[in-house]
Structures are given as C-alpha cells and as structure tokens.
Chains A and B, each alone.
Chain A
Amino acid sequence: MMEKNWIYIFIAILSYICLGFLQVSIDYQREIENLKSPIVLMPGEKAGSFILSGFKGIAVDILWLEIEKSWHSGQHYKILPSLKAISYLQPNYTTVWEIGAWHMAYNIFAKEAERGRRLERMFERMKEKMDFKENLGIILEIEKGIKKIKEKIEREGLPERENCEIIRKLKVYKSIIENLKKDTKNYSFLRIIDGIVESMLAQIFWYKSGIDFLKKGIVYNPDKYNLYFELGWLYFDKGKDYKNAVKYLEKAIKFPHPEYVDDVLAHVYEKNGQIDKAIKQWEKLLDTNFREIAKKALRSLRKNGKFTP
C-alpha cells in the first residue's frame, strides 16, 4: 500500500513541472493581453491593505469616493494624490486620466485664474490710494508686461514648453519682485504683484500638467480614442496649438469613436489652415447627426474659406 502511495507523490511532482511551464505561458499571455499588474507604491494607507488581497477595484472605488467628497467641497488640490493613486492602481481606467487632466487644466487652472483676477483688482485699488516713492516705475513696468503676456496668451494660447519666452519673462519678473521685497516699504503691494505673476505661472503649470497626465494615460491606453481626443481638445481649446490638436485628433479617429470627435477635428483642420481637409471632414459628417451643421460649414468654407469663429 505504502509503495503504491508514492505514485501519487510522483505524479504530483510531474504535474508541478507541467504547472511551471504553463505558468510561464500564462505570464506571457498576461503580458500580451495587458492583464499584468505592475508593482505599485501606494500613497494612501486605506488602499494598501486592499491591494494585498487583490482587491484593487475596491481600493480605486474608495479613492474615487474620496475624490467625489473633495470635489464637492471645493478641495481641488486634495483630489490630485487620489487621482494619481488610481492611475497607478488601474491605469486602464481611462476615466481617471480624462478627469484628472480636465481637473488640472480646467478646474485648478480656473481657480488660479480667479486668484489672479482678484489680485489684479486689489492692485488697481491700491495703485490709486498709495503714494509711491520707491520703485514705482519698475512695478508699473512689470504690470504692463503681465498685461502684454495675458494678451499674448489670449491670442496665441498657453505655452507648453518650459523655456518659452512667456515663462522666461514671468520668471524674470518674479526675481525682480523678490529683490524689491528686500528693501521696500511697499511690501504688501509687492506681494500682490508677486501673486499675479505666480498665478500666471501656476495656470501654465496646470495646463502643462494636464497635457502630461493625458500623455501618460495614452502610454497605458494607446488603442482607445478618448485620451487622444481629450489631448487634442486641450491643445485646441487652451493651447491654441492647432498642429498638435490635429495630430492627436487624427489619432483619435483611428479607433472607434463618437461623431463629435469628427466634428471637432473638422474645426481644428480649419483653424490649422487645412481648409481642404476640413471640407473633406465635414463631408464625412453629412451622413451623421451633425448633418445640418456640416451643410452650413461646407457652404461657409467653400464661399468664405472660414466657418469656425
């Protein structure tokens, strides 16, 4: 009986060897089907314990509920670590990349813009009341410079590159203000102008962060239309960078997508000066729900070469 019993162990060991080979094959399959889970270092304590037992989805849901709570209470910056954590835990959950980027480039951006406007109003009020004896000329020059930069951004869109003229100028203003702060009596006044410069730099930073976040999301989800669309839209709407907008929207339409993506691409082609392509794009939309607007656009483009305001 005992001798026969060893057969079980023998077969079990043999099966283990088969299992080893099969596991290699499964690992490979997980790799090619994007089912592999990378090692994650969690910034949140709550999520960590769930990851240990393979409940990433639940961890993501808890973080998502925290985002909801912070969102409704206006704590925009508190959302960021949770968004990043979710993007680590479930990188294929495209909603997190979309909402994260939108949150940075629109919500936080708007908050910074509002702060800038508030400071500008304060600056105007103080300028009338105060009697400046020191450094008034430099401060007013900076104010003029900031106004010019704002106009440039409105005309040409937000910059993406770190070493562009706008950022360089803003950084120079900031260092000048820092130096003036050391030996001036108008400290509070300088703090306001400093705040205006900071808010402009922050707006550019959050626009750029939104772009970077979407680009990272695309690395994990290269075969879905939505992240390319969001990136194209961001370049179009905030950056007025029509070249890049065309680049990403053209990528978006390579994958199954809703009709509005084609609509946006038609507008972007026009803005990028590619009228022929814009016409072709509108023609494609003649058989869709965008039929009426496509007809108008085609009439206007053929007649005036312009449709998008």
Chain B
Amino acid sequence: MVRKVWTIAVNTFHESLRKKILYVLIVFTIIFIGASKFFSFLSREEELKMIKDIGFSSIEFFGALIAIFSSAGSISGEIEKGTIYTLLSKPITRANFVIGKFIGQILIILFNLIIMTVFFITLLLLKNNPFDLELFKTILLIFFELVVISSIAIAIGNFAPNSFNITFSFLLYIAGHLTSYGKQLIERVRNPLFKGFGTIFYTILPNYENFNIKDKVVVGIPVSWIYVGKTITYGFIYICISLLLAIYFFNRKEI
C-alpha cells in the first residue's frame, strides 16, 4: 500500500513541477526577498528586521499561493483529463489515491520552501545574521500552515470546481488569519446564541494565526517548543480532518 501511495505522490510531484505558475511564483518570491536588500540606507538592526519581515511574509504568502494553485486542481485535473479512470482501474483504493495526491503536494510545498528558505538564509548570512533556531521554528510553522492550506484545497477539490476552490481557499487563507481577531470580538458578545455560534465557527475555521509567529520572532521574542509542538499537533489534526473529508467526498463521487 505504501508503495502505491508513494508512486502516486511522486507522480503528483513531477506533474506539479511541470506547471509554469510554480516557477513564476518562486521567481516572484525571490524578487521580493531580494528587494529587501534595497533598504541598506536604514540602520543594521532595522534593515535586518525588514529582510526578515519581507522574507517570512513572501515565503508564507507565495507559498500559500503555490499550495492553493497546485493542490486545487490535483484531483479535479485527473478527472478532467480522464487519467483517473486508468488509475482507479488498478488495485488502489480511493483513499490511497487521495493520500498519495496529498503527499505529492507536501513534496512540492517542501521543494518550494527549501528553495525560498535557502535564498532567504543566504541573504541573512550576507548581512552577518546567522540562521538561528527561532527562524527555523518560524519556517517550520509556515510549512505546516502551507500543508494545512493544501489539505483543505484537496478536500474542497472533490466537490467544487477548480475556480471556486482557488477563490475559496484564498479567502479562507485571509479569514484564517483573522480568526484570532474574531475570537476577541466573540468574547465581547453578550448574546449566548451568537457567542455559541461564534465559538463553533472559530473552531471550524482553520486558525492560521496559530502558525504566525514571524511578527514576534523578528522583534526577538522567543517561542517555546511547547507552543510549536501544540501548533504542529493542531495542524496535524486539521490535516487529518481535511483528508477524512476529502476521502469521504471522493468515495461519494461517481467515477
């Protein structure tokens, strides 16, 4: 079973590598991260902060775009092209297929993240700022955020058209960063019904702000491994939920 899943994952990875949009987004990220070098007129501390701010934000934002564009069409693309019929005629379950597609997306996210991070680290090293553990934690959480985004896009892709999936996933990405503000608003609501609905909504929506420690790390606030561990667990559970839903909807599909 593992071999079958891995074969699908590797195929998905190779297939995604052929998409031009991937390279366009990587180039954009590198341009953005590189652009932060133009702020050399600032003091060293301010310049480093800007490089880190722009670097992390670019990695996260363009990484999210890559995850959305790449994952949204991964299953629907197979259906449109008709290759799904050949695949499913082989001795693989539908769950294996979904998981394989998802692992393929993880590989592509990891591939992009490594390219972007290497460029980012190089820029920091040029400014005599070593890549420390706090920066690693930030990148690690960004990676898990991107994987969550990807898993949600895969789940939605099983019951919605591609254009809707891309738009919805992107809006969810923005909303997911606002949920913590939403929580603060819910705390101020007195009506128990609204409060209840608000809390349920807060739990259901992915809280991408959990993964956002970049604003604190750049100003020197340390983040504990306990927090990182909890957030990774959160991401892992969310990924499981998304995949379960993806498998559920894919099983219901009449192919």
Task: Give residues in A with beta carbon < 8 Å to B.
Answer: 1-2, 5, 8-9, 11-12, 15-16, 18-20, 22-23, 25-27, 29-30, 33-39, 52-58, 60-61, 64-65, 68, 90, 92-95
Min Cβ gap B154→A in Å is 14
CA distance in complex: A260, B230 (Å): 41
Q: Is B11 positioned at the interface, with any CB of A under 8 Å from its CB?
A: no
B227 near A35: Cβ-Cβ < 8 Å: yes
Q: Is B240 positioned at the interface, with any CB of A under 8 Å from its CB?
A: yes
Chain A residue nearest to B180 (CB atoms) is A37
- Chain B CB within 10 A, most for which of A36, A55, A60: A55
Min Cβ gap A255→B in Å is 12
Min Cβ gap B21→A in Å is 20
CA distance in complex: A65, B54 (Å): 13
Can you give 7 contacting A-B residue pairs, CB < 8 Å?
A12-B240, A12-B244, A16-B204, A22-B233, A26-B210, A34-B221, A54-B209
Q: Is B238 positioned at the interface, with any CB of A under 8 Å from its CB?
A: yes
Q: Which residues of B contact A57 (CB under 8 A)?
A: 49, 52-54, 56-57, 214-215, 218
Min Cβ gap B151→A in Å is 12
Please tell me which stretch of B74-82, B124-132, B247-255 contacts chain A, meaning at least 4 of its Cβ atoms lie within 8 angstroms of it. B247-255
Q: For window 31-74 of chain B, which residues contact chain A by CB distance below 8 Å?
A: 39, 41-42, 45-46, 49-50, 52-54, 56-57, 61
Ordered nearest first, which 3 A-B pairs have the shortest CB separation?
Answer: A57-B53, A54-B177, A8-B248
- Chain B CB within 10 A, most for which of A23, A36, A64, A94: A23
CA distance in complex: A64, B36 (Å): 13
B244 near A9: Cβ-Cβ < 8 Å: yes
A20 near B57: Cβ-Cβ < 8 Å: no
Min Cβ gap A16→B in Å is 6
Q: Is B13 positioned at the interface, with any CB of A under 8 Å from its CB?
A: no
B234 near A22: Cβ-Cβ < 8 Å: yes
Min Cβ gap B52→A in Å is 8
A23 near B207: Cβ-Cβ < 8 Å: yes
A55 near B61: Cβ-Cβ < 8 Å: yes
Q: Which residues of B contact A36 (CB under 8 A)?
A: 180
Contact check: which of B181, B204, B237 meets A22 at CB < 8 Å?
Answer: B237
B252 near A30: Cβ-Cβ < 8 Å: no
Q: For window 156-201 of chain B, which residues contact chain A by CB distance below 8 Å?
A: 173-174, 177-178, 180-181, 183-185
Contact check: which of B50, B173, B219, B234 meets A19 at CB < 8 Å?
Answer: B234
B248 near A19: Cβ-Cβ < 8 Å: no
A90 with B219, Cβ < 8 A, contacts A8-B244, A20-B203 known: yes
Q: Which residues of B contact A68 (CB under 8 A)?
A: 41-42
Min Cβ gap A65→B in Å is 8
CA distance in complex: A287, B245 (Å): 66
Q: Is B213 positioned at the interface, with any CB of A under 8 Å from its CB?
A: yes
CA distance in complex: A9, B247 (Å): 10
Min Cβ gap B244→A in Å is 4
- Chain B CB within 10 A, most for which of A11, A58, A94: A58
B183 near A27: Cβ-Cβ < 8 Å: yes
Min Cβ gap A56→B in Å is 5
CA distance in complex: A68, B39 (Å): 11
Q: Which residues of A contact B224 (CB under 8 A)?
A: 29, 33
Q: Is B150 positioned at the interface, with any CB of A under 8 Å from its CB?
A: no
A8 near B247: Cβ-Cβ < 8 Å: yes
CA distance in complex: A33, B41 (Å): 33
Min Cβ gap B167→A in Å is 15
A19 near B241: Cβ-Cβ < 8 Å: yes
Contact check: which of B184, B203, B204, B213 meets A35 at CB < 8 Å?
Answer: B213
CA distance in complex: A58, B41 (Å): 17
A35 near B221: Cβ-Cβ < 8 Å: yes
B227 near A53: Cβ-Cβ < 8 Å: no
Q: For window 5-22 of chain B, which residues contact chain A by CB distance below 8 Å?
A: none
Q: Which residues of A contact B227 (CB under 8 A)?
A: 26, 29-30, 33, 35
Chain B residue nearest to A10 (CB atoms) is B244
CA distance in complex: A38, B180 (Å): 9
Q: Is B133 positioned at the interface, with any CB of A under 8 Å from its CB?
A: no
